[in-house]
Structure formats: structure tokens, C-alpha cells
Amino acid sequence: MLVKLSVALKGRSVFGIPKSLYFPKPPKAVRYIYIIAAVAFIGILLLTFQDYEEKLNSAWLNYDEAVNESRKTGKMLFIFISSPTCPICRDFREFLSQDEMIARISEKYLPVYIKDPAYSPVPVTSFPTFCIGYPENYDCFHSPSKDMLLKRLGVT
């Protein structure tokens, strides 16, 4: 039925309104502008999130490696849970990636960096979140400053 109706109306008006008025075809120039705008938007999104690529010193372990190492050595984990869009997290990343800080933290803890809260072993409500302890028994906290973090870790 619908096929017959669409064939019957092909090129004709419906209720006296020409088909071109309710399905206007934009000019070619406008279509090209839409395409260019869409490509530019996608490019900007990709470049924006590329800036948040998070890298820390190679001394930082992933969670699974650190849990295995903790079970072997008996060392506690220090977990830094970040978010790509958190400006405070970026400051802490820069601070904690310094060689001196890594050495001080590594004496007492196995440092673990989790860049996406979706992969966190603990529930996260705000950023940055820090946890210390043994697997399945973490004490998580938030630190407003770098000095308070070092004091809480006992590595001042």
C-alpha cells in the first residue's frame, strides 16, 4: 500500500503542497559546508583528548602487576586514581612523576597508576583519589595538596 502511494505521489504534491517544500534539498555548497563542519568537529574532539594522554615514569605499575608483586614482597600498594579531564590530577601526575618522588614512594610502597576510574579496584567519587594498603584492604582518601599527600604516605 505504501509503495503504491509513494509511487503515485512521486513528483506530485500532497494536499496541494509541492514535495520540494517539505523535503527541500540543500544546495551543494551547503552540503559541503556540513561535511567540512562535521570533519572539523571530529578532528577537534580527537585532538582534545589526545592532549590528555597520561604518562608517568616507568616505575609506576599497572594494578595486576602490583598485586602480584605485593603478594610476593609483602609491600603495600599506593594507588593513584586519576581522570583525563581533571586539572588537579594533571598537577599531581607531574609531581609524582619526578624521579625523587618515585624513589621516596617506592621505598615504602608499590606505586600503581590508574588513569581511568572505570578500571579502579575501589569505588571513586571524586578526583584525584589515592589509596594505600594491601589488595582488598585499601584506605582511600583525597588530598588537597602535595605536602599533605606526602605526609599521609609517611614519605616526607
In the chain, what are the domain boundaries? 2-50, 63-153
Residue with cell 593513584: 80
Partners of 81 in the β-ladder: 114, 129
pTM for this one? 0.65
CATH 3.40.50.2000 fits 63-153, yes or no: no
The residue with cell 609506576 is 60
Q: What is the pLDDT of residues 95-119, one digit of tens each?
A: 998 989 999 999 999 999 998 888 8
- Dump pLDDT digits (tens) for 56-79: 667 899 999 999 999 999 999 999
